[in-house]
Amino acid sequence: MRILVVFTGGTIGSTVKNGIADVDSEASKILLDICSDYDSTEFEYLSPFNILSENANCNTLTRICNFMLDIDYEKYDGVIITHGSDTLAYTSAMLGFVLSWVKIPVVITAADYVLTLPQSNGTENFKASIDFISDFVNGIHNNTGVFTVWKNKGESVKVYVSTRLNEADGYLDSFTSWGGAEFGVIENNHFKRTAANINPECTMPNEKTFFLRKEKVRFRNDVLLLHSYVGMDFNAVDISGKSAVLLKLYHSSTFCNDGAVTAFPKFAERCFENGVDVFVYSVKRTEYRYKSVEGMENYRIIPLYNINTSAAYCKIMLAYAVDVKYRKDIIENNLFYERTK
């Protein structure tokens, strides 16, 4: 078995000195020692950069995506990417899209504490990532594409479809899956799929983004993500330099449609007049709509159905980072199980 390990930093790649945690190449030695315990597995190591993930930006996403697009996946049985937990959901979603065509498992994992602390879940997450790839090699599962592995406190190590990973809870440091069910768990060193209607029986390659192997991506800071809240003043939102605006709706798939500065449709009209596309998420497919969102298509508001924040944002970012001829396909298609039923 041959596994590529890609180090990018984060807590899993950090040490603590004088009470300050920061990325440190020395931290990788702990993971290298773990790899040395697997006698029948050959590991290769690469690192495109070494940062705390909260410092990630559009340039960082461009670098990691193009770096991963350059890899010859036929040389490996699996890939493990170590990453910080703060922006884990965003990198997971973006790589899930751009690598949706890959025919081996690519696993992204992280740690809640630096590896030298006994309460850290980092080594367990890393070992579980190897187990998931090993089960693929041994035919225990046939799931390909990008996955995220993480252990919440007091739970089994979970495997998430990368495009369904929700951001971590700020108090518990726990991750959850869009729709409520993780894809599976690692127990006794083996993968077990979670039996839930929301989960696919098996993930399969989707070549909608295969063109990126030649054209690559270049993300720009031109997609504005907004979050609905009571009293939001849309007049205060600057849309200059933006290509698209994405609004997170209330849970009932609604937005405010009342008030001189709080009505979203008025803001959408301003966007349209300035050549800025407007998207809303997550929209449910239901038997009825609320009066407040009646006729939202008349304002040229484009709905994204059944999708979480990180996936919606990364999908629109990707759609506006590539040639316009690919945009519609990226927006409308389920690239890697990001859109649930």
Overall pTM > 0.85 = yes
Whether residue 240 sits in one domain with residue 310 = yes
Give the strand order in the sheet containing 244-248: 223-227, 244-248, 277-283, 301-305
**What's residue 163's pLDDT?**
98
pLDDT tens for residues 6-61?
999 999 999 999 999 999 988 889 999 999 999 999 999 999 999 999 999 999 99
Burial class (CB in 10 A: 0-12, 13-18, 19+), 154: exposed
Choose one of 208, 242, 258: the last residue of a domain. 208
Specify whether 259 is located in the same domain as 203.
no
Residue 294's pLDDT is 87
Q: For residues 232 and 179, state if they share a domain.
A: no
Q: Which of 119-123, 257-261, 298-302 has the lowest mean pLDDT?
A: 298-302
**Residue 200 placed within a domain:** yes
Pick from 209, 208, 238: nearest CA to 221: 238
pLDDT at residue 341 above 80?
Answer: no
* Residue 59 covered by a domain: yes
- pLDDT at site 287: 87
Determine, yes or no, domain membership for 214: no
Do 281 and 184 lie in one domain? The reply is no
* Summary mean pLDDT of the chain: 96
Which of 224, 199, 247, 228 minimizes the C-alpha distance to 317? 224
Of the candidates 218, 262, 270, 217, the one whose C-alpha atom is nearest the C-alpha of residue 245 is 270
Domain count, the chain: 2
- Dump pLDDT digits (tens) for 78-96: 999 999 999 999 999 999 9
Q: What percent of the chain has pLDDT over 70?
A: 100
Structure tokens at 250: 């209330």
Residues 107 and 146 occupy one common structural domain: yes
Instruction: Kindly tell me the number of DSSP H helices and DSSP E strands found in the chain.
Output: 8, 14
